[in-house]
Copies of this chain bind each other. A is one copy, B any other.
Amino acid sequence: MDAETRAGSDDHGAIRLWLRLLATERLVETRSRRLLLERFGTTLPRFDLMAQLGRFPKGLRMSELSKRMMVTGGNVTGITDLLEREGLVERAADPDDRRAWLVRLTRAGRRAFAAMAAEHERWIVDAFAPLTAREMAAMAALLARLKTHVRSLEGQDA
């Protein structure tokens, strides 16, 4: 097989893998979205924000939420507004920087999140059930390399 043909099939492999990765991710995400709505009347971004706060009882700044959730600051403002309106989250002044807020779960927010997190974990475990621990580890390792590489690409031409 010559170089051109080989390159050609490699390319196809990358595209096909990317489309499959995308489809699988979207399938799991759509399922989570639907279950969150049906079971808890909430949405994935709201759950995601609460999940971040769940790991930081002292609260997180908007900018930290933005980084962790991989979305823009304006988006975090909007989702926080909604959760605050629902009484699940509260903004507190950051004593170290008056520009910033510390967002944290309220008592009701902690209760609601605990229930959701337990079920959500079960959904994910169920979704990944066909893979063995070894296969999961292998896939995680490949994804780690991919992630690092794409991040380095972003550094170059972002």
Contacts and interface: CB of A to CB of B under 8 A. Distances in A.
Interface of A: 9-11, 13-18, 20-31, 34, 70, 121, 124-131, 133, 135-140, 142-147, 149-151, 153-154, 158
Given A31-B150, A139-B142, A150-B31, A128 B25 contact: no
B21 A136 contact: no
A29 B22 contact: yes
A17 B140 contact: yes
Contacts of A24: 21, 143, 146-147, 150
Question: Could you tell me the dominant secondary structure of chain A's interface residues?
Answer: helix
11 contacts: A14-B127, A15-B125, A18-B28, A20-B143, A21-B143, A127-B146, A127-B149, A127-B150, A130-B145, A135-B142, A138-B142
